[in-house]
């Protein structure tokens, strides 16, 4: 597989406190890669580094063969990288339709935008049912579907998901997990998934990196890691089959 993204020896800190210490990860085209670990392990900092929201102190980030670090966030988005932030970040007083259309702000072809909109509504039928409602009236799971749909409206090549299961009812977590799998397979979108729900993340990803206090503790194929005693002890203890 062709390499899409690589982070090489990344260091990042906030107010002189290191958030990432020599982190190196890679993701190939068509892959879903998970970043698992406890809150504060540095998972979200990796996404902020990729998107230019938090400048790195050292190291290099390459995307499709080009140097990414040092570019501003707006230019990074235009290269086909879309992020679904933790906490959903909806436009509460706008309709579901208008929230989705905000994801297509870099696009100009109205026919293709409408095709993407229909594709999102087919993927998330609940959004079609809530199409004219204000975003603030949706449940947490429905809002999460909407912000994933909003990201897909940008037609990304790489989708960054930050804790998509956080605060979501278990039934809708299953729906969102299935959607992540189908997005990767059907739309040829590579996915970098940050998740505290380690069992879910390992069950839907190809490979994974387990993080601890700003560093990579373990990495490998997800199907192997989910049966690894070290992963079970450190990351799966709180999860229930």
Burial of 65 (C-beta count, 10 Å sphere; 0-12/13-18/19+): exposed
Residue, of 166 and 234, whose pLDDT is higher: 166
Adjacency order of strands within the sheet including 190-195: 81-84, 158-162, 190-195, 32-36, 207-212, 215-221
- Reduced to 3 states (helix: H, G, I; strand: E, B; else coil), residue 47 is helix
Cα dihedral 203/204/208/209 (nearest 10) = -80
Residue ranges covered by each domain of the chain: 3-87+156-234
What is the structure's pLDDT at 237? 60
Reply yes or no on whether the pLDDT at 236 is more than 80.
no
**pLDDT tens-digit readout, 30-88:** 999 999 988 888 999 999 999 999 999 999 999 999 999 989 998 998 899 999 988 76
What is the structure's pLDDT at 241? 33
Question: What is the rounded CA–CA span in Å between residue 157 and residue 104?
Answer: 14
For the stretch 185-195, what's the b/e string if a residue is b when 16 or more beta carbons lie within 10 angstroms of its beta carbon?
A: eeeebbbbbbb
What is the structure's pLDDT at 79? 93
pLDDT category of residue 239 using cuts at 50, 70 and 90: very low
- Reduced to 3 states (helix: H, G, I; strand: E, B; else coil), residue 83 is strand
Q: What is the fold of 3-87+156-234?
A: Rossmann fold (3.40.50)
pLDDT category of residue 155 using cuts at 50, 70 and 90: very high
């Amino acid at each position: 597989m062709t390499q899409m993204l690589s982070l090489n020896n990344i260091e990042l800190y906030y107010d002189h406190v290191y958030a990432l210490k020599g982190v190196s990860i890679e993701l190939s085209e068509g892959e879903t890669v998970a970043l698992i670990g406890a809150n504060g392990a540095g998972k979200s900092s990796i996404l902020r580094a990729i998107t230019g929201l938090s400048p790195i102190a050292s190291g290099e980030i390459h995307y499709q063969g080009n140097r990414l670090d040092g570019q501003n966030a707006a230019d990074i988005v235009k290269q086909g990288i879309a992020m679904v932030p933790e906490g959903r970040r909806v436009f509460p007083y706008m309709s579901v339709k208008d929230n989705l259309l905000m994801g297509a702000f870099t696009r100009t072809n109205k026919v293709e935008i409408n095709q993407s909109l229909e594709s999102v509504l087919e993927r998330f039928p609940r959004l079609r049912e809530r199409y004219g409602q204000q975003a603030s009236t949706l449940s947490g799971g429905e809002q999460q579907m909407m912000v994933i749909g909003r990201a897909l409206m940008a037609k990304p090549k790489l989708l960054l998901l930050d804790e998509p299961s956080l605060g979501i009812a278990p039934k809708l977590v299953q729906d969102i997990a299935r959607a992540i799998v189908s997005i990767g397979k059907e739309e040829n979108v590579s996915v970098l998934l940050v998740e505290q729900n380690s069992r879910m993340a390992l069950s839907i990803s190809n490979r994974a990196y387990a993080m601890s206090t700003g560093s990579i503790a373990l990495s490998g194929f997800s199907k192997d890691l989910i049966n690894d005693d070290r992963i079970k002890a450190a990351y799966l203890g709180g999860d229930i089959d």
